[in-house]
A = this chain, B = another copy of it.
Amino acid sequence: MPLTSDQLETPCVLIDLAKAEANLERAQAYANSKGLRLRPHIKTHKLPRFAKAQVALGAVGITCQKLGEAEIMADAGLDDIFLPYNLIGTAKLARLKALHGRIRISVTADSAYTIDGYAAAFTDAAHPLIVLVECDTGLGRCGVTTPAEAVELAKRIAAAPGLTFGGLMTYPAAGKPDEAFAWLSAAVAALDAAGLHPPVISSGGTPDLYRAESGDLVTEYRPGTYIYSDRFQVSRGVNSMDQCALTVLATVVSRPTETRAVIDAGSKALTSDLLGQDGFGFIPAYPEAKITSLSEEHGVIDLTACARKPAIGERIEIIPNHCCVVSNLFDVVNLKSPDGTIETVPVAARGKVA
């Protein structure tokens, strides 16, 4: 007999398949309408089946953040992976070489150090490694900070026999697409002047996904969170709470006072990521409830504002603040079909930190 969510032990993760698929279709349709190629980031779901679904809908390939994720996805048959990271050190370069031998893989660099490492490991001009230059267009994380530096690194890549210059990549500061656009425009002009036209300009981020435009500049977009979405994305106007596909199912294990409930989902299930939200998640069945604190295995809920209150033993679904980090905490997730049946699947690329 097929499993239903009543039979699942809590805490656990539920994925509403119809909502996830609708989220994928909506984003692909938007990208198509704007002439953007999608290259979804798998960090959110970490599941080969969803990566394949994204490609089947029209994505040109996928994005992974760590070699361990790319290895899992390549094993599952994904054959075009972008790994926007500075890969450094003998062990990681050996793993990158192994991937490069079996799929189309592209990477980034933001320093001569990283490029020189790639150049030493990849020497076959007939099968070069594709290297994009990472650009800091305002976020303040990795990336060269001026278009002039981008040109210098592009030249260094182009000069290495076993490397090929793949273009520019940025993770823009959320809500500041104009800044990123101005930065990239200046860099493209400088590259064109140097005879190094970037074949790909890759941007990303679900918060600005539905404001993304090619503008004859950006060619690829790397959204991740959009497949499930979460409370933070709702706060950014990406979609409604009802379109969020991932929830954490928890049980009320204690009602110590009239206004306090405690659930069996703590920071090991919901994570302590706040992302500017008030409390650690949203409970659709009790919208006035506030998850005020988490310890590892307990979540404390303030019910002061609730007319109706949950009883001990009751199960509640929570839309987390940040769904990507939740995926990383669970060995399995439960995929819920429209008929209510559940399929439990391992989160294949979970915990691939290296």
Contact = CB atoms under 8 A, between A and B. Distances in A.
Task: Pick from A65, A111, A295, A296 the residue with the most CB of B within 10 Å.
Answer: A296
A330 B12 CA distance: 19
B295 A141 contact: yes
Contacts of A330: 351, 353
A293 to B, nearest CB: 8
A5 interface: no
Contacts of A262: 141-142
Contacts of A89: 9-10, 251, 313
Interface residues of A, number: 59
A141 B351 contact: no
A309 interface: no
A300 B142 CA distance: 8
Interface stretch (A70-78, A207-215, A267-275): A267-275
A92 interface: yes
A110 interface: yes
A113 B114 CA distance: 60
Interface string A79-109: 0000001101101100000000000000000
A328 interface: yes
**Copies of the chain in the assembly:** 2
B297 A86 contact: no
A237 interface: no
A344 to B, nearest CB: 12
Contacts of A156: none
A298 B66 CA distance: 11
B144 A256 contact: yes
Interface string A262-286: 1011011101111000000000000
Q: Which 8 A-B pairs have the closest CB atoms?
A: A86-B253, A142-B254, A113-B312, A9-B354, A65-B297, A9-B91, A272-B272, A272-B273
Given A114-B312, A296-B324, 16 more contacts: A9-B89, A9-B91, A11-B354, A85-B253, A89-B251, A111-B254, A141-B262, A142-B254, A145-B256, A267-B271, A268-B353, A271-B271, A328-B329, A329-B351, A330-B351, A331-B351
